[in-house]
Amino acid sequence: MFSEALYWLFLLAIAVQFSYAFYFFIRIIPVRKAGPLPASELQPVSIIICAKNEASNLKKNLPAILSQKYDGEFEVIVVDDASGDDTGIVLKSLKEKFNNLKEMAISSFEQRSFKGKKYALSKGVAATNYNWLLLTDADCVPASDGWLEAMVAPLGKGKEIVAGYGGYFKTRGLLNAFIRWETLHTFLQYSTYALAGKPYMAVGRNLACTKSILQKAQQSDIWNALPSGDDDLLVRICGNKDNTAVVCDKQAFTYSDTKATWKEWIQQKQRHLSTGKYYKWNIKWLLAAYGCAHAVIWLGFFFLLFSDHRAIAAIIMGLRCIIYWVIWMITAGRLREKGVVYLFPLSDIGWMMYNFAFLPYITWKNKKHWI
């Protein structure tokens, strides 16, 4: 009786995942690089970086951002959020070499109107001279000197929010490989949802938008619910099927170093996932159904291997894995993450464990700090 019920539940979960694969995820395949905008359509851009104790990262990464090739004007505003290291010294040194760099310093005693990073971001936005904004982090470096132009190109075509890919550098070790796979998987989800007209998140490591749309988000009641999450909440408050674009162009990627330990990564993910509870209800249901189906498929499959349904379960599971792994392989190729392909079987199972481990932060807990 139990095996029969589990078998039908397994089939239902398989049907759910097939639906997601062929309605959402397959949309990644036809996405192509957008052509450059004519110089006449380019507007000046303000790049904003919020930094707290990021002296070494700014010294290493900021020159590549300041040296972008762009036919229009652009400024780079770094908001030093009460740093206790040499951030100010590094910025002063770089200002002597780059006249498009602007620095803003926030005192630790300054009264804040927003929590955490959102206050630093609001100060940066207020200091901008231009309506096109490009947001990234101090620990990110662009993949090319064409990053700026590729990321803002959709703004020139009438979009107000542009979600890009924020990848991680490849190093040795299981943690690095899983982080890169999970980042790939997350991009596959939010990019294809946006392509289907249901945008729900972006990553602050690589996000373009208009100044007016960001200011609109800042006026929302839920904007200040968390000290971080400005990227997801911007899409949550203002994103729609008409104003949101996705850029999947290797020149437009950014890269960061992954966390060095599992503990550091867990703390980072707790902060990132805290925003999920503020998604729109239809998005939360869609994401929950996908995650639950994923868990039911793997748990049910292991149990069904010891039942009379083992043969048909193995065939169906094999078909499901082929479809998903092919989609992931295509995505890995588009994102230049082919090095994680070998990890697909382990990551497929590991993602189920990931959802169980972080469930409290997905559903009700908030992470109180932005770094």
* pLDDT per residue as tens digits for the range 32-57: 766 677 777 889 999 999 999 999 99
- 316 and 247 both lie in a single domain: no
pLDDT tens digits for 324-359? 999 999 999 999 998 888 888 888 888 777 776 665
Instruction: CATH number of the domain at 264, please.
Output: 3.90.550.10
User: What is the identity of the amino acid at 176?
Assistant: N
Please report the pLDDT score of residue 289 as a whole number: 92
CB 101 within 8 A of CB 80: no
Q: Are strands 101-106 and 74-81 parallel, antiparallel or unpaired?
A: parallel
Which one of 244, 268, 292 terminates a domain?
268
- 253 and 303 both lie in a single domain: no
pLDDT tens digits for 185-236? 999 999 999 999 999 999 999 999 999 999 999 999 899 887 778 999 999 9
pLDDT tens digits for 108-125? 888 888 888 899 999 999
Specify the residue for token string 């630790």. 108
Q: At what angle do helices 211-218 and 230-238 cross, to 10 degrees?
A: 90
Which one of 246, 268, 290 terminates a domain?
268
pLDDT tens digits for 163-182? 999 999 999 888 999 899 99
Mean pLDDT of 258-263: 85
Which one of 216, 240, 268 terminates a domain?
268
Q: Would residue 371 count as lying in a domain?
A: no
Q: List all residues 6 or more positions away from 340 whose beta carbon is below 8 Å from its beta carbon.
A: 177, 180, 181, 184, 332, 347
Q: Would residue 277 count as lying in a domain?
A: no
Residues 275 and 287: their CA atoms lie apart, in Å, by 13
Q: List all residues 6 or more positions away from 262 whose beta carbon is below 8 Å from its beta carbon.
A: 175
Question: Which range of residues forms the domain containing residue 354?
Answer: 2-28+282-363
Q: Would residue 34 count as lying in a domain?
A: no
Stated length of the chain: 371
364 confidence band (pLDDT: 50, 70, 90): very low
- 217 and 182 both lie in a single domain: yes
CB 81 within 8 A of CB 51: yes
DSSP for residue 130: -
- 178 and 316 both lie in a single domain: no
HSE of 190, CA atoms in CB hemisphere, 13 A: 27
Residues 177 and 171: their CA atoms lie apart, in Å, by 8
| pTM of the predicted model as reported, rounded to 2 decimal places | 0.91
- In sequence order, what DSSP letters do the residues of 138-193 get, joined into one string? TT-EESSTTHHHHHHGGGGGT-SEEE--EEE---SSHHHHHHHHHHHHHHHHHHHH
Q: What is the rounded end-to-end Cα distance, in angstroms, of the chain?
A: 50
- For the ranges 4-18, 263-277, 357-371, the maximum mean pLDDT occurs at 4-18
Please report the pLDDT score of residue 370 as a whole number: 43
- 51 and 198 both lie in a single domain: yes
Does residue 83 surpass a pLDDT of 70? yes
